[in-house]
Amino acid sequence: MPVPIDELVTRYKRGVPESLLPLLQEIQAEFGFLNEEAIVTVGLYLNLPASKIYGIATFFDQFRFVSQGRYHLRVCRGTACHMNGSASVLREVEKILKINEGQTTRDGHFSLEAVGCMGACSNGPVININGEFHNAVTSAGIAAIIDQFRKKA
Ligand code: FES
């Protein structure tokens, strides 16, 4: 059971703007994303306008504003994977799931994120689904991988 946001903020000093990033990181670690309630609660607690918090949070790639799906797909867009065709893999995933990167499917089963190098360059293009790596993925082969997870979902 996640710690309620209004309780979580009390781990930080009220009205201290330097607490913003660690607090947002902690909320995201707890809930998986930052929703409107989190932004408003943090704003009131740290005495910062919500617009400023959004501005800062959107500057950092680490923050998400929609919930992750049950299966979170991370498609590597690092240089080596790009050279091996990761752009077409990403486009195919978007087409199959009918979402763009950064989004979650309506049924909540899948979310998609394009990320930088995941440290498996020689196996590229790589995708990672809930921590499980899939190597040398092709745009033709990605449908079968997604189908495996659809069956589990
Ligand atoms: S570039 Fe994709 S794993 Fe390194």
CB of 135 sitting under 6 A from ligand 1: no
Angle at 150 between CA 146 and CA 152, to 5 degrees: 120
- Are 114 and 101 in contact, with CB atoms under 8 Å apart? yes
Question: How many residues does this entry show for the chain?
Answer: 153
Decide if domain 71-152 falls under CATH 3.40.50.12160: no
Could you report the per-residue pLDDT of 54-74, keeping only the tens digit for each?
Answer: 999 999 878 888 888 999 999
User: Is the overall model pTM greater than 0.85, yes or no?
Assistant: no
Mean pLDDT of the chain, nearest integer: 93
pLDDT at residue 50, as a whole number? 94
pLDDT at residue 62, as a whole number? 83
Can you tell me the distance from the alpha carbon of 59 to that of 70, in angstroms, rounded to the nearest whole number? 26
pLDDT at residue 61, as a whole number? 78
CB of 79 sitting under 6 A from ligand 1: yes
Check pLDDT > 90 for residue 152.
Answer: no
Structure confidence at residue 2 as a pLDDT band (50, 70, 90): confident
Spatial CA neighbour of 45 closest among 26, 72, 59, 73? 26
Can you tell me the distance from the alpha carbon of 21 to that of 60, in angstroms, rounded to the nearest whole number? 10
Could you report the per-residue pLDDT of 14-49, keeping only the tens digit for each?
Answer: 999 999 999 999 999 888 889 999 999 999 999 999
Residue 119 Cα, ligand 1 centroid: separation in angstroms? Answer: 5
Q: Where in the chain are the domains? A: 5-59, 71-152
- Mutate which of 121, 127, 133 to test ligand 1's pocket (most atoms within 8 Å of Cβ)? 121
Residue with tokens 């979170």: 72
pLDDT at residue 66, as a whole number? 84
CB of 69 sitting under 6 A from ligand 1: no
